[in-house]
Amino acid sequence: MTISKSLALSMFVSLNLLLNTSLTAQNIKSKNLKKGQPNTSMATYEKYIDDNADAHLKEFFELISIPSISSIPSHKPDIEKAAVWIVNKLKAIGITTAQAIATDGNPVVYASWDNAPGKPTVLIYGHYDVQPVKESEWVHSPFVPILEDGKIFGRGASDDKSGVMTTIWALEALLHRDGKLPVNVKFMFDGEEEIGSPHFKNFIIHNKELLKADFALNADGSQFGDTLPSITLGLRGIAQLEFNVKTANVDAHSGQFGGKTPNAVVAMSQIIASFFTKEGNVAVEGFYDKVLPATLQEKEMIKKLDYDSTIDMKILGTTTDVGDRTYSPLERVWYRPTLEVIGMQGGYTAAEGFSNIIPANAMARVACRLVSNQSGKEIIDLIVKHINKNCPPGATVSYKYIDSYARPMQFPTDSKAYQYVADVLTKIYGKPPLQIAAGFTVGPMIDIKEQLGLFTYSLGMEQADERWHASNEYFRLSSMRKGQLLYCYYLLHLANEESKLKK
Ligand SMILES: [Zn+2]
């Protein structure tokens, strides 16, 4: 493995920094110590981070190379291997409490360093499970990571093994230099985020005391761009439904019975077509009743972002945007609800052979991204009512309810918790963060709020063009360093600010 130009460059720069600032760091240290303020000079942490960049990259490769795919049962041993790997890494840096706590599904890796009595406690969330891969679409093998042009390619490199490792390395730098942390820190790394964290709520309910904290951070977070810090203040919720259309007990011969026999796939298509208006809105009655319009501030923020939806179209390979054009594309993704058909099957579709049948059955799955005051259960009830009303003659529908709703979430900006994250991003990026939202859902954020009363602010280094969930996912090498600095500074800053309040 060659050290990339940018890595060499950053090492040179920080070395330079170190040489020029060490003396002052010493003075600052003594001055702060005199005032009892924790030392927030970053130079020595930077030195540790740069001196260990190679070793950390090697570790990162090790973790990425474990195919911890939570949606494929045969990868369960890899899930456990990744959990054990992280536990061992945490123990190696001195966090001896690290353990993989069993759930009814995949284990949650938990660890705590709580040797700072009287100091606040921060709970850091991340996940070590990853999305499946379509191997043939990857340029490099998804589980044989490679560094190319400042990018680390591999499944989960960005989403979210970057969050797991940059937070651990940050604590490593602090513990290495100071032998202690400025505040108490707890980790909980989810092993099922990519399948909707079905056992996470129970994990929290059964471990409330263990997870008690004053602040919470989501390392599975993103920045708007390389030089554009951002805090995610809105997440959409989700509700899903599977339904089956039946028109007969058996598939019929299309010649013998065609012209008088109902077709389940046609009936399904009619039902699905009835979900939408020609403008691209959802035609289910009552679907938008509880939707609140985006606030002026949110609309202003969208205007400020030079968002170009053609970039997403290039990434995806789509040729046009769809949806209600009275709202901007970003407003549609962040603040408007959707109904997506996420899967559908019926008739003879095997790769081999052809069958002239009139299908008796068809199945479809829909998922709704929810916003503001929409409730998943209510929305699914409205859709079922709509399907029953629009079911063509000769067809009957049965439903499979998927009982894992995630409600939409908004994060306040008038809190200390928000301010500390904003301060840190302003410090590291040299400009205040953009206040953005996200169209996706992170179920555990709701569980943490409901069970532990904490808003988990996003503080992660992923970027939207790093192909999360898609082929050829990568993470920027430069973000490895910045992520560590971000977390080092956050913990130091939090200790500082909270100790000021105690005075
Ligand atoms: Zn993720």
* 61 and 186 within one domain: yes
Nearest to 368 by CA among 331, 336, 330: 336
- What is the crossing angle of helices 161-178 and 76-92, to 10°? 20
- Is 159 strand, coil or helix? coil
* 283 and 195 within one domain: no
- Give φ, ψ of 238 to 5 degrees: -145, 145
Looking at the predicted structure, is the pLDDT value of residue 22 above 70? no
* 242 and 199 within one domain: no
Residue 277 belongs to domain with CATH number: 3.30.70.360
* Dist. CA 425–CA 228, nearest whole Å: 9
Provide the residue range defining the domain that includes 258: 237-291+337-401
Q: Could you tell me the distance, in angstroms and rounded to a whole number, from the CA of residue 282 to the centre of ligand 1? A: 28
Q: What is the mean pLDDT of residues 473-485?
A: 97
In a domain, 184, yes or no: yes
Q: Could you tell me the distance, in angstroms and rounded to a whole number, from the CA of residue 122 to the centre of ligand 1? A: 20
* 192 and 138 within one domain: yes
The tens digit of pLDDT for each residue in 462-472 reads 999 999 999 99
Looking at the predicted structure, is the pLDDT value of residue 25 above 50? no
Q: Could you tell me the distance, in angstroms and rounded to a whole number, from the CA of residue 127 to the centre of ligand 1? A: 7
Residue 490 belongs to domain with CATH number: 3.40.630.10
* Dist. CA 159–CA 126, nearest whole Å: 9
Report the percentage of the chain scoring pLDDT > 90. 83
**pLDDT, greater one: 442 or 374:** 374
* 371 and 344 within one domain: yes
Q: How many CB atoms lie within 10 A of CB 156?
A: 29
Task: Identify the pLDDT of residue 7.
Answer: 42
Looking at the predicted structure, is the pLDDT value of residue 358 above 50? yes
Q: Could you tell me the distance, in angstroms and rounded to a whole number, from the CA of residue 319 to the centre of ligand 1? A: 27
Q: Could you tell me the distance, in angstroms and rounded to a whole number, from the CA of residue 126 to the centre of ligand 1? A: 8
Q: Could you tell me the distance, in angstroms and rounded to a whole number, from the CA of residue 353 to the centre of ligand 1? A: 40
Confidence grade of residue 40 (pLDDT, cut at 50, 70, 90): low
Task: Identify the pLDDT of residue 502.
Answer: 82
The contacts found for 382-385 with CB under 8 angstroms, 24 or more apart, are 382/284, 382/285, 382/286, 382/287, 383/241, 383/275, 383/284, 383/339, 384/241, 384/243, 385/285
Last residue of a domain, one of 401, 417, 452: 401
* Dist. CA 285–CA 288, nearest whole Å: 8
Confidence grade of residue 435 (pLDDT, cut at 50, 70, 90): very high
Q: Could you tell me the distance, in angstroms and rounded to a whole number, from the CA of residue 159 to the centre of ligand 1? A: 5
**pLDDT, greater one: 353 or 382:** 382
106, 86 in Cβ contact below 8 A? no
Give the pTM: 0.85
Q: What is the mean pLDDT of residues 57-65?
A: 98
Distance of CA 373 to the CA centre of its chain: 22
The tens digit of pLDDT for each residue in 129-186 reads 999 999 999 999 999 999 999 999 999 999 999 999 999 999 999 999 999 999 999 9
- Give the CA radius of gyration of the chain: 25
For β-strands 215-218 and 456-458, DSSP reports them as parallel
* Dist. CA 357–CA 270, nearest whole Å: 19
The tens digit of pLDDT for each residue in 287-344 reads 999 999 999 999 998 988 878 888 889 888 999 999 999 999 999 999 999 999 999 9
* 370 and 433 within one domain: no
Task: Identify the pLDDT of residue 119.
Answer: 96
482, 460 in Cβ contact below 8 A? no
In a domain, 319, yes or no: no
How many domains are there within the chain? 2
Render 455-494 in DSSP notation, one character per residue: -EEE---B-TTS-TTSTT-EEEHHHHHHHHHHHHHHHHHH
